[in-house]
Amino acid sequence: MYYNYLYNRGDISKYLSENNQEDSGLKELIKDVLEKQIDEDIEDDNLDKAQKDLEIAIKNEPDNPNLNNSLAYLNYKKGDYDSALKNINFALEKEPDNKNLISNKIELIDKQNDLTDDSKNFLVNKLIDKEADKDIQNKALDVTLKNVEKGKVELNDETMEKLLDNKNNQEDNQEINLKNNINESKTAKLISANILNKSKKEGKEGQYTINKELKSKINENLTNPNMKNELLSSYKCISNLEEKDIEMPMKIITDNIEYESNSKAIDESVNVLSSIVKNNKNVEVNEKTFTNLTDFINTNDYNQYSQVDEIIDKKEENNKTFWEKFQDKVNENVKKELKEIVNEFEDDKDKQYELIKHIKEKGYNITKNKLTYSQGEKKKTISNMFDCLNSIGKSNKGFTKENLNEMSNLMKINNSQSKDFQKFKKKEIIKVINNSMEANKKQILTNDLMDEISKEINTKKKSKKSFASFKYCIK
């Protein structure tokens, strides 16, 4: 009766304190109810009442991990994250394998402005623990990645090796179940961000030297389709690469330039290639990669609307295929309202979805139902490619004869490209060739390339300013 009276009053903590030595069975029930009520009070922001009950409960059971977890939650709600972390640490001493406590600690670490060594070590240990619960591991991964990107956490090479060992071996066509596996893409992103930060911290951005074992692990994981593009970014910072180390990254870069439709992925691949050449002057870019670079420049034009490629099976419609029909409409008026274009395919929602998706992938912008093309992205990509060619030309290897033939082809008239773009293209090629010859005194141009340069010289006015850009070509 007395219990019911106190419970209905919401004052069961009084019963607990007044009956410390009596009714052990009922006492346990009361404690369970009290813990539940405390958590409900905290959840409902009745913090003063919850704190009063917690003080009585913890006085009776100071080592109870659940009560200390509730106290941590109370302090969390008050914004006192340091005290909350101390409460969780105390609870974890009693139950170190409690998943709920571990998860709560990771959330509290995420609230810290400056991570303690204990917090850093805790995150790392959960990351590399092969037996850890994957939900816990992914939560630790998210918090670690955020802090690595902010420069607040740094992983050593040994930890990165273990982290790459702790990945999942996925087949190319095997679907990832993120609930049961650590997120591989974020793991790769963490490795790349960490290497970049370490190179910046040492004041040698792009000049970071990694040990042989880590280099091997990164290279090995490039075969994982879920990790390759994120891991590829780490090569922007590594300066101790040999020919054998760049075979796999070079293959990914080559494939991305040739097959990838996402401009950001292409840009990143080109930037990585440029960095590899700049930071490792004795490595050589293979012919396939070089050809893909020049082919991209020769088949694109940031002043024109890109052609729409086929991404789904063609279907005859009024003697015209799906994409031909769409291309006609784009050519008629590239700023035509999007809904007028896609309404042609209203009966086939799958095609309509693929159409809109493909429009975006190809660089078109969709705003206010208008279809326009973004020149900025394409120009940035092509400019990055010329920067990359410049890095190749200034490397110790310089341009091969085959490379120079490709450059010569780039300078030839291409009727599929606008005059302004061809003018820009020739200007950039001349700059690349000049820089290459300045850096490599033994660089010899092919006759075909010299002919193209001569044609360009003859079109310029004979002034110092005009001939300045041909300085080393003329020599």
Q: Which tokens hold the place of 151?
A: 């420069």
Helices 247-259, 263-279: inter-axial angle, 10-degree rounding: 150
Backbone torsions φ then ψ of 364, nearest 5 degrees: -75, 145
Of 5-19, 278-292, 377-391, 421-435, the range with the lowest mean pLDDT is 5-19
Give the tens place of pLDDT for each residue, 430-451: 999 999 988 888 888 899 998 8
Give the global pTM: 0.71
Residue matched to tokens 């969780």: 88
Q: Which tokens hold the place of 4?
A: 């019911």
Alpha-carbon separation of residue 184 from 65, 189, 242, 278, 376 (angstroms): 33, 9, 26, 29, 32
Evaluate whether 232 touches 269 at the Cβ level (below 8 Å): yes
Integer Cα distance of 452 and 427 in angstroms:
12
Averaged pLDDT of the chain: 77
Q: Which residue has the higher pLDDT, 213 or 7?
A: 213
Integer Cα distance of 275 and 256 in angstroms:
16
Q: What is the mean pLDDT of residues 257-271?
A: 85
CB atoms within 10 A of CB 411: 20
Tell me the range of 24-38, 57-71, 195-209, 286-300 where mean pLDDT is highest: 286-300
Give the tens place of pLDDT for each residue, 135-191: 999 999 999 999 999 989 999 999 999 999 865 444 444 444 444 478 999 999 999
Q: Which residue has the higher pLDDT, 324 or 104?
A: 104
What is the model's pLDDT at position 432?
Answer: 93
